[in-house]
């Protein structure tokens, strides 16, 4: 086992996030798993508290993402802000990942805004809760094939299309919607637009019922002549065919390590609970003896813990690279692929090791095993992350390796 020390400057944040996970999330975890679609009102006060924490420091405790610094010429992030956000997310998801995803103002749309918005947009939309709407009925993994369009009409863009599986779509104040300025120009024409949830052109169609993360609302929308001001376009309106999808994809470099961090948190929750149950059953886990000469349950536990540690290292590495202004697309995808798969394997492995205790609803192990799967799906599935990694390592384009 690797014992990486948390840097001193992040310790208060990690300890506060752990306290929130223990005292706020865990006690209401089952309640909102059962009461799907009910808003966890306990989070309102907590969200204000986290806003306060974020204001007082350089660090984020939730999934709000990080801002690339303007003016220093190299697009560098505030050093440490990705890493601190990842550390905070790990702790909070050790508490409950569905509740973290329901936290006001900590949506994936907030990450997109924080990453690429202009100062004016930040001022206009800062402090609001933003969801992210990329997926459509005919476009999931292949986000370049989205059909939603945005047409310029005077000082406004007019959006038309359909968006499905929008996390926090019902509760957020804003939705960052991906749409094409010109479908004949391919992926380079895809831009993101900030749409107010109150916009009458964006109609909530339905909320989904799900296997896991049931505390988090997942919405489907119809966009019908949805008008937004010209200034709602995030980034540049230029269609740069040479740059391709690069601009829009940049936000994934920030958000994929965050989803990996969620997976690390859920896996650690399962491992911690299982370690305790094994100890109660008299199974000793010994770090100084080879796994193969220990109790079979201890050996299995050590194997899962090693998998967890590998995913954790990759995730911290991807965040550290972003903090230090190094391109991290490869590492972000590696972390997401490894952590998503590890979380599913480990949480189910823990259910297995704990037997009926793991399967019953008196404990949270069965819930964590259900919650885990989405972390291997959204922000790019396991298979898509592996495809991205393969393309980068082999130097192939998306047209060459599909």
Task: Output b/e per residue, 217-238; b: 16+ Cβ within 10 A.
Answer: bbbbbebeebbbeeebbbbeee
How many CB atoms are closer than 10 A to CB 124?
16
By CB under 6 A, tell whether 378 contacts ligand FAD. Answer: yes
Nearer of residues 210 and 227 to ligand FAD, judged by Cβ:
210
Q: Which residue of 294, 381, 392, 398 would you call a contact of ligand FAD, by CB under 6 A?
A: 381
- Considering only residues 205 to 234 of the shown chain, the ones binding ligand FAD according to CB under 6 A are 210, 213, 218
Cβ–Cβ under 8 Å, residues 263 and 372: yes
Q: How far is the CB of 372 from ligand FAD (least distance, A)?
A: 12
Cα separation, 99 vs 119, whole angstroms: 30
Nearer of residues 167 and 329 to ligand FAD, judged by Cβ:
167
Stretch that binds ligand FAD, among 245-253, 274-282, 362-370, 379-387 (CB under 6 A): 379-387
Query: Pattern of binders to ligand FAD over 103-142, x per CB under 6 A?
Result: -----x----------------------xxxxx----xx-
What percent of the residues of the chain are helix, what percent strand, and what percent coil, each to the nearest 5?
50, 15, 35
Nearer of residues 131 and 278 to ligand FAD, judged by Cβ:
131
What's 126's DSSP letter? T
Nearer of residues 239 and 377 to ligand FAD, judged by Cβ:
377
By CB under 6 A, tell whether 374 contacts ligand FAD. Answer: yes
By CB under 6 A, tell whether 165 contacts ligand FAD. Answer: yes
Q: How far is the CB of 218 from ligand FAD (least distance, A)?
A: 5
Q: How far is the CB of 87 from ligand FAD (least distance, A)?
A: 23
Nearer of residues 218 and 331 to ligand FAD, judged by Cβ:
218
Cα separation, 157 vs 233, whole angstroms: 9
By CB under 6 A, tell whether 398 contacts ligand FAD. Answer: no
Quick check: is 38 catalytic? no
Cα separation, 180 vs 144, whole angstroms: 9
Stretch that binds ligand FAD, among 17-25, 237-245, 307-315, 377-385 (CB under 6 A): 377-385
First-to-last C-alpha distance (Å) of the chain: 37
Q: How far is the CB of 135 from ligand FAD (least distance, A)?
A: 4
Task: List Cβ neighbours of 204 (8 Å cut-off, separation of 6 or more).
Answer: 169, 170, 219, 220, 221
| Strand ranges inside 74-173, DSSP E | 130-133, 149-153, 156-167
Residue nearest to ligand FAD (CB): 140
Catalytic residue among 91, 273, 366, 379: 379
How many CB atoms are closer than 10 A to CB 399?
6
Size of the site for ligand FAD (CB under 6 A): 22
Task: Look up tokens 């038309």; give the residue.
Answer: 160
CA-CA-CA-CA torsion sign (26, 29, 31, 37): positive
Q: Which residue of 23, 383, 393, 401 would you call a contact of ligand FAD, by CB under 6 A?
A: 383
Q: Which residue of 149, 377, 392, 398 would you call a contact of ligand FAD, by CB under 6 A?
A: 377
Stretch that binds ligand FAD, among 151-159, 164-172, 197-205, 364-372 (CB under 6 A): 164-172
| Strand ranges inside 197-290, DSSP E | 202-207, 218-229, 233-234
Cα separation, 170 vs 217, whole angstroms: 7
Cα separation, 96 vs 93, whole angstroms: 5
Stretch that binds ligand FAD, among 58-66, 189-197, 242-250, 370-378 (CB under 6 A): 370-378
Residue 295 burial by Cβ neighbours in a 10 Å radius (0-12, 13-18, 19+): middle
- Considering only residues 58 to 97 of the shown chain, the ones binding ligand FAD according to CB under 6 A are none
Structure tokens at 212: 């896991």
Nearer of residues 128 and 300 to ligand FAD, judged by Cβ:
128
| Residue 266 CA: distances (Å) to CA of 155, 244, 370 | 45, 35, 10
Q: How far is the CB of 12 from ligand FAD (least distance, A)?
A: 30
Nearer of residues 215 and 357 to ligand FAD, judged by Cβ:
215
Catalytic residues: 379
Residues engaged in binding ligand FAD (CB under 6 A)? 108, 131-135, 140-141, 165-167, 210, 213, 218, 374, 377-378, 381, 383-384, 387, 402
């Amino acid at each position: 086992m690797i014992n990486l020390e948390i840097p001193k400057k992040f310790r208060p944040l990690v300890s506060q996030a752990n306290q929130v996970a223990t005292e706020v999330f865990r006690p209401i975890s089952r309640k909102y798993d059962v009461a799907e679609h009910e808003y966890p009102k306990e989070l309102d006060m907590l969200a204000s508290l986290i806003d306060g924490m974020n204001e007082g420091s350089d660090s984020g405790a939730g999934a709000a993402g990080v801002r690339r610094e303007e003016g220093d010429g190299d697009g560098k992030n505030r050093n440490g802000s990705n890493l601190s956000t990842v550390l905070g997310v790990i702790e909070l998801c050790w508490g409950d990942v569905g509740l973290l995803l329901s936290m006001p103002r900590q949506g994936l749309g907030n990450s997109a805004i924080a990453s690429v918005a202009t100062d004016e947009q930040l001022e206009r939309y800062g402090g609001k809760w933003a969801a992210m709407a990329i997926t459509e009925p005919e476009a999931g993994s292949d986000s370049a094939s989205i059909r939603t369009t945005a047409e310029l009409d005077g000082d406004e863009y007019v959006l038309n299309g359909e968006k499905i599986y929008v996390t926090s779509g019902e509760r957020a104040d804003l939705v960052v919607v991906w749409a094409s300025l010109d479908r004949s120009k391919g992926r380079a024409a895809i831009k993101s637009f900030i749409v107010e949830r109150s916009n009458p052109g964006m109609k909530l169609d339905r909320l989904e019922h799900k296997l896991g993360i049931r505390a988090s609302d997942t919405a489907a929308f119809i966009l019908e002549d949805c008008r937004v001001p010209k200034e709602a376009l995030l980034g540049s309106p230029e269609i740069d065919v040479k740059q391709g999808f690069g601009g829009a994809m940049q936000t994934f470099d920030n958000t994929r390590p965050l989803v990996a961090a969620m997976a690390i948190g859920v896996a650690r929750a399962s491992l911690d609970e299982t370690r305790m149950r094994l100890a109660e059953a008299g199974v000793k886990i010994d770090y100084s003896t080879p796994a193969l000469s220990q109790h079979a349950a201890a050996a299995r536990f050590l194997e899962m813990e090693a998998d967890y540690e590998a995913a954790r290292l990759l995730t911290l590495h991807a965040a550290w690279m972003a903090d230090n202004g190094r391109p991290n697309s490869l590492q972000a995808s590696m972390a997401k692929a490894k952590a998503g798969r590890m979380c599913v394997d480990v949480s189910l492995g823990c259910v297995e090791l704990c037997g009926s205790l793991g399967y019953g609803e008196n404990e949270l192990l069965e819930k964590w095993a259900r919650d885990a799967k989405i972390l291997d799906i959204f922000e790019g599935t396991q298979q898509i992350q592996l495809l991205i990694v393969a393309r980068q390592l082999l130097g192939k384009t998306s047209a060459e390796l599909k």
